[in-house]
Amino acid sequence: MRTVLCAMLCLLPLPVFVRCQTAPEPKAVFEAASIKLDPKADGSDSEDTPGLLRAQMTLKGYLAYAYAVKDFQVMGGPAWVDREHYDITAKLERVDPQRPGGSQIREALQTLLAERFQLSVHHELKEVGGFALMADKGGFKLTPVADAGNHATSSRGAISRQLTATQVEMGRVAAFLARETGRPVEDQTHIPGVFTFTLEWARDDPKDSNSEQPELPSLFKALQEKLGLRLESRRILVDLLIVDKAERPSNN
């Protein structure tokens, strides 16, 4: 009887869940892409159009965008990776309406950089110098506001800098400070709620050294005096993106 039962089971069709498995989502790729060195560029720029990448950045900038990390997390590679600017225009072969557009662009950009820059990278956890965002000993100076969902930050200025924050939590302030200082910043304030404020400070390294420095405090002093916050030096474990190999692409 046991032998007959085994034989009958072997004749049964595969389980439904095996036959109904869906194919994996196709990987996002660019149908066409142009990469050109721009020797006159001195900054970064990008255009946010669904399915289209049009930007002017260094390879380091493109890597930070493609892998959703900050500039200071990209390390290694030849010196030109953080010096030469490239104009890239690329269009997705197919836009999946079920996926965020940014994630598709990033996925396709990873492949494009690997192919055209002969790029190879790897991730590595490492302790680096950074900051902890802390409440100052003199007391936190902001009052929470109602959270209406209008969370936003904007900054401007080259010599003097201004941050306008609307209904932001301390974690988002820490993320902004990481971009501004070029180092990782951990939120260690333990302060709940959202806050609206404007902060102004003077850059330590203005682009135009002949311009008069405005009468503004440094970023560290402005945080302390205006917001009741401080940045304390710390060693922070960071996920780094290490460039193992990169070659200049041909213009096309």
Closest CA to 163 of 144, 180, 182: 180
Q: What would the mean pLDDT of 110-121 be, rounded to a whole number?
A: 96
Query: pTM of the prediction?
Result: 0.74
Rg of the chain taking only CA atoms, in angstroms: 25
189, pLDDT greater than 80 = yes
Confirm if 180 and 194 have CB atoms less than 8 A apart.
no
- Chain segment 127-145, per-residue pLDDT in tens: 999 999 999 999 999 999 9
* pLDDT band at 98; cut points 50, 70, 90: confident
- Chain segment 12-31, per-residue pLDDT in tens: 454 544 445 555 667 889 99
156-160, long-range: CB < 8 A, 24+ apart:
157/203, 158/203, 158/206, 158/207, 158/208, 159/202, 159/203, 159/206, 159/207, 159/208, 159/211, 159/213, 159/214, 160/200, 160/201, 160/202, 160/203, 160/214, 160/216
